[in-house]
Structure 1
Amino acid sequence: MRRLNSLLWAAALGLTMTSVGAQTSAASAPAAKPARIVDIDDADPLMKQAFIRARASLNGFLKTAESGNPAITNAALRVVIREGDVQEYLWILPFKRTGNNFSGTVNAVPRFLKKVTVAQTVTFTRADIADWMYVDTSKKVMYGNFTTCAMALKESPGDIPELKKRFGLDCRR
Structure 2
Amino acid sequence: MKKSLLFIASLLFILTSCKESSADKTERSGEPDVYNVEDDDAKMNQAMIDAKNSIGDFKKAIASDNPNFEYFTIKQKFEADGGAEHIWVGDIQLIDNVLMGIIANEPVYTGEVQLGDTITVNNADISDWMYYDEGKVVGGFTIRAIRDALSPEEQAQFDAENGLIFK
**Fold-level similarity (TM above 0.5):** yes
**Cα deviation, residue 163, structure 1:** 4.3
Q: Choose between structure 1 and 2: higher strand proportion.
A: 2
Unaligned runs of 5+ in 1: 1-6, 14-33
Determine if contact 1:106/1:122 at 8 Å carries over to the other structure: yes
Q: Match of 2:119?
A: 122
**What is the correspondence of 1:43-82 to structure 2 with a 5 Å cutoff?**
43-82=40-79
Change (3 A) 1:135 1:111: same
Q: Among the aligned pairs, what percent are the same residue?
A: 26
**Cα deviation, residue 40, structure 1:** 3.8
Q: Match of 1:149?
A: 144
**Cα deviation, residue 101, structure 1:** 4.1
Deviates more, 1:37-46 or 1:85-94: 37-46
Determine if contact 1:133/1:144 at 8 Å carries over to the other structure: yes
Counterpart CA distance in 2 for 1:102 and 1:65 is 10
What amino acid does structure 2 have at the position aligned with 1:148? I
**Cα deviation, residue 143, structure 1:** 1.1
Unaligned runs of 5+ in 2: 1-10, 17-30
TM-score (norm 1): 0.69
- Secondary structure, aligned partner of 1:159: helix
What amino acid does structure 1 have at the position aligned with 2:136? V
**Cα deviation, residue 48, structure 1:** 0.9
Match of 1:159 among 154, 157, 164: 154
TM-score (norm 2): 0.72
Q: Match of 1:10?
A: 14
**Cα deviation, residue 169, structure 1:** 1.9
**Cα deviation, residue 151, structure 1:** 0.8
